[in-house]
Amino acid sequence: MRLFTSPPWRWCLGLLLSALTACSSQKPPTPTAECVVTEAAVEPLRSQMSAARAYHTATLLPSCLVLVVGGARGDTPLNTAELYDPATGTWRDTGHLHVARSAHTATLLASGQVLVTGGRGRQISTNTAELYDPATGTWSDANDMRGPRAHHSATRLPSGQVLVVGGNGGPIDPPPATAELYDPDTDTWRTVGTLTTSRVDPSALLLPSGQVLVVGGGPDNTTELYEPASGTWTTGRMKLLRGVRAA
């Protein structure tokens, strides 16, 4: 599990403010109205979420609402989700996950839906995935990943597919040194190569070339580069060993 070096509320607020800031710089997958930021949104602590949570996700939707999913309160994983409206500075519930989870990923798809993958239950990681539809505010099951994982990364590729990398595996299995690719058009997963080393909480960044750079989270200073055109990995090295991701 990751350790916080600042109070959990400050970490949660940072996620929210980062999502709101990104609204002005990210191109949404579907047309949307301009975001209206009010005084209430400038000071979001005036409004509170319905549940305290950590190890959750925050995703900016095309509507500029912010979807907060899952997480944990103490040792208890949560199956709730909430929407923050920057135009009013208010929160509202938006359905329940089918599987309670923390340390999962949430990825905005080209369709405007949000893919939630993996995460940790009360004791073990899960291989389940779910889809959130903002148009209806409902959740549906996606096909399961090939293996359980939590504290992994998920990156949407230019093709619209989602690359999932690393993480923690089962209770007695070592962290998987594997990657999987999700195709939202067919709701299917496939394995795409093997990493040089297991990685927990890696950083994965989509480059302008369409490649994905994966850094940190492993026992050494190696880095890996995924080439979507060929489905292959190449290895490099950072100057320093780095652990828990900061990006």
Give the dihedral of Cα atoms 181, 67, 73, 90; nearest 10 deg. 180
Would you say residue 33 has pLDDT above 60? no
The pLDDT value given to residue 7: 45
The pLDDT value given to residue 26: 41
Would you say residue 238 has pLDDT above 80? no
Residues in CB range of 33: below 8 A, 6 or more apart? 63, 64
**Longest alpha-carbon distance in the chain:** 49
- Residue 244: pLDDT band by 50, 70, 90 thresholds? very low
Chain centroid, CA 231 distance in Å: 22
Q: Are 234 and 191 a contacting pair, CB within 8 Å?
A: no
The pLDDT value given to residue 91: 92
**Residue for token digits 């997958």?**
29
Q: What is the mean pLDDT of the chain?
A: 82
Rounded Cα gap, residues 154 and 169, in angstroms = 15
Rounded Cα gap, residues 98 and 70, in angstroms = 11
Task: Report the percentage of the chain scoring pLDDT > 90.
Answer: 60
Rounded Cα gap, residues 150 and 166, in angstroms = 8
Q: What is the pLDDT of residues 113-136, one digit of tens each?
A: 999 999 999 888 999 999 999 999
Mean pLDDT over 215-225 rounds to 84
> What tokens were used for 246?
């900061």
Q: Which of 13-27, 42-56, 118-132 has the lowest mean pLDDT?
A: 13-27
Report if pTM > 0.95.
no
Would you say residue 242 has pLDDT above 70? no
